[in-house]
Amino acid sequence: MGIDGIILCDCFETDRALAPPFPLVRRGWYFTGAPGFEGQDDVRRDEVLEWERTACEHPYLHLVDNKLRRRELLEAMDDHGGLAAFPAILAALPHGNDGDCLPPEEAARCLAELDRLNDLMAPSTMAAVVDADRGTILFGASEPEMVGFPRRLQPLTHIRIYTDGTIHGLTPEPGTAPTTSWLEPDAVVRVKHMDGTILFESHDFTQERSGDDWTFRDAATGATVRHSSPSRGHGPTTRWRTRHHADCASRPDPSTSPTA
């Protein structure tokens, strides 16, 4: 069982349709006998249906006639901000088997919400770290992701690290760098002090060993920061760049996935 979603054309109301076999009025999405012809639409149903099919260039005077896919629509709304974020669509969806008819101004609100939902469902981008020497993507993230852990943490239990860089439950040893480094959705790597202060941000930098720690150096400005760990993926790579790339992983249908 499915639900049809129909947009009516206005050829009947604007006299661009062929004349019906007898006077009809449109009530919602169906035609019925005009005053004086009540009941005729039942008796002469085949004639009415044939007229509807051929009265204008739009079969059955339907501008658009598609399956509504109500359940998928509700799921998509739920996944992208929640049902309450799409009040016009929610109000417009039929709640029973009788169907419902929506005036054009309400349809405009629904279309605006559908556009917004469509934007939210469009392929998103991930921030990616690229090996600057080889141009290969080392890894990507669509949420803030910690890419450099603060080494030499004591104690190692009951420590909580949050995406804003704050570290709770840690008393740093003197001389250590209580920092984390993060790849963030704007494709910038940030080194943050344990109190959340941003110490360094760059999308093109080198990492060099520096005593017990590491120095990150921005390629453009030469700005540096000391961090206790090399960032994830460090190996032969000494220079990182970050950029955005299309997130294929979140698009389950391969036919719609970008290949970038």
Residue whose tokens read 């009516």: 8
**Two tokens, residue 28:** 């919602």
Residue whose tokens read 């101004």: 105
Minimum CB–partner distance for residue 8 and Zn ion (Å): 8
The residue type of 25 is: V
Q: If binding is defined by CB under 5 A, does position 9 make contact with Zn ion?
A: yes
Q: If binding is defined by CB under 5 A, does position 26 make contact with Zn ion?
A: no
Residues in the interface with Zn ion (CB under 5 A) total: 4
Residue among 50 and 72 whose Cβ is closer to Zn ion: 50
Q: Considering only residues 3, 6, 7, 11, which one is a binding residue for Zn ion as defined by CB under 5 A?
A: 11
Residue among 14 and 255 whose Cβ is closer to Zn ion: 14
Stretch that binds Zn ion, among 49-57, 70-78, 138-146, 208-216 (CB under 5 A): 49-57
Cβ atoms within 10 Å, residue 4:
12
> What residue ranges in 45-170 does DSSP mark as E strands?
62-67, 125-131, 137-141, 145-148, 160-161, 167-168
Cα–Cα distance, 255 to 123 (Å, whole number): 13
Residue among 9 and 225 whose Cβ is closer to Zn ion: 9
Minimum CB–partner distance for residue 55 and Zn ion (Å): 7
Minimum CB–partner distance for residue 65 and Zn ion (Å): 12
Residue among 7 and 120 whose Cβ is closer to Zn ion: 7
70-79 and 104-121 are packed helices; what angle lies between their axes, rounded to 10 degrees? 60
Minimum CB–partner distance for residue 103 and Zn ion (Å): 18
Residue among 48 and 146 whose Cβ is closer to Zn ion: 48
Minimum CB–partner distance for residue 188 and Zn ion (Å): 53
- Contact 231/148 with Cβ under 8 angstroms? yes
Minimum CB–partner distance for residue 16 and Zn ion (Å): 7
Residue among 56 and 223 whose Cβ is closer to Zn ion: 56
**Kind and range of the H or E run holding 184:** strand 179-184
Phi-psi region of 95 (alpha: psi -120 to 50; beta: other; left: phi over 0): alpha
Minimum CB–partner distance for residue 46 and Zn ion (Å): 21
Stretch that binds Zn ion, among 50-58, 106-114, 151-159, 189-197 (CB under 5 A): 50-58
207 Cβ contact partners less than 8 Å away, ≥ 6 residues apart? 214, 215, 216, 217, 230, 231, 234, 238, 240
- What is the pattern of x (binds Zn ion, CB under 5 A) and - over residues 51-70? -----x-x------------
Residues at the site binding Zn ion, with contacts judged by CB under 5 A: 9, 11, 56, 58
